Amino acid sequence: MITVKEKIRLIESCFGKSKLSADNKNAIVFCPICKSQGKDKFKLAIGIDKGMYHCWVCESKGKNIGRLALKFSIQKKTATELYSYFKTDEEDEQVRIEEKKNIELPEDFRLIATDRSHAGKIARNYLKNRGFAEKDIYTFRVGISEKYEFKNRIIFPSFDKDQNLNYYTARTHNPDQKRRYQNAKVSRKDVIFREFDIDFSKELVLTEGVFDLLNCPDNATCILGSWIDKSYAIFKKIVVNNTPVILCFDEDAKDKTQKIAKMLHEYCVPVKITEHTGKDFGDMSKEEVNYWLKEAKPFNNVDRISYLIKTIQSGSVY
């Protein structure tokens, strides 16, 4: 439990010196919005208990002073700590809603499949060199943009069950570009990539990244990383629908694969695990992918114990 003294320290670290109200319930600071006009510069009152704030000059108000700190303070680490302390489940949900509203493709987004520009030709050639057929370029609805942040990138959009954009990832095709991926600024926990294209009543193939999906069956998606748990939207959807899954993560994610399989198994979800070696799914041909999917083994506690025995010396037991 954070003390009043610690709360005031965080507030002053973000907003400068404060004054306590007569009843000691509010810390009053300089308002970064209106600059606290007038002789008395301290006009932004912050409730020490719940973090609600109100400026008596410009009437700015809110439920979490941390959000104001994140916007105006240069002490981002402290501001994040302040926000995290005062945030509520209701605010978390509101943040998710706002994030989803802010997801947009660039105005000049155009499908590579129908684009005949020089940039479109470069992107198409890159995809074909990565194994994409013309059908795949249509299936994944990949596109390009001339906007600065998307320059030399191939954009993979994702749509939710209602066909609303819920995510995008943009992969550079320029080897000199240091940052390989530019992603939508939304929590991966709330995203089911390609949800509109998934049938949760059928067996679902799960991979790590977009390029791993290339030679997978149609009913497949990626988790945009190597980890999911009970807090992730896709985990919840799989459990609710009791969707059989095949986990096809990279070879270096074996520990995580076992942990995810164990969690799904606890909810009686049928789980299989591929035992591929040497190549990730994104580097395999369609024939190789089909082979490993066919050879995937059902997860059970006996296999888990066997895996634990093999890894016990590495200290990775869970």
Q: What is the pLDDT of residues 252-296, one digit of tens each?
A: 999 999 999 999 999 999 999 999 999 999 999 999 999 999 999
What angle (nearest 5°) sits at the alpha carbon of residue 114, between those of residues 109 and 119?
Answer: 60
**What is the pLDDT, as a whole number, of residue 262?**
93
Residue pair 34/60 in contact (Cβ under 8 Å)? The answer is yes
In the structure encoding, which two tokens stand for residue 16, read together?
Answer: 């400068």
* Mean pLDDT, range 304-318, rounded to an integer: 58
Q: What's the rounded mean pLDDT across residues 297-306?
A: 77
Q: Are 52 and 65 in contact (CB under 8 A)?
A: yes
Cα-trace Rg, the chain: 25
**Range of lowest pLDDT (33-37, 165-169, 179-183, 191-195):** 33-37
Question: Which range among 73-77, 170-174, 209-213 shows the weakest confidence by mean pLDDT?
Answer: 73-77
From residue 227, alpha-carbon distances to 207, 255, 311 in Å are: 10, 10, 19
Categorize the per-residue pLDDT at 307 as very low, low, confident or very high, splitting at 50, 70 and 90: low
pLDDT tens for 112-171 read 999 999 999 999 999 999 999 999 999 999 999 999 999 999 999 999 998 999 999 999
Distance separating alpha carbons of residues 106 and 155, to the nearest angstrom: 10
Strands 26-30 and 165-172: unpaired
The widest CA-to-CA distance across the chain, in whole angstroms, is: 76
CB distance 297 to 303 below 8 Å: yes
Pair of tokens at residue 42: 């301290």
Is the per-residue pLDDT at 318 higher than 60?
A: no
> Are 281 and 215 spatial neighbours (Cβ–Cβ below 8 Å)?
yes
Distance separating alpha carbons of residues 11 and 20, to the nearest angstrom: 12
> What share of the chain in percent tops pLDDT 70?
88
Q: Do 169 and 150 contact (CB within 8 A), yes or no?
A: no
Stretch 81-90: mean pLDDT: 82
Tell me the pLDDT band of 304, cut-offs 50, 70 and 90: low
Q: Are the C-beta atoms of residues 5 and 16 closer than 8 Å to each other?
A: no
Query: What gap in Å lies between CA 270 and CA 280, rounded to an integer?
Result: 23
pLDDT score for 10: 94
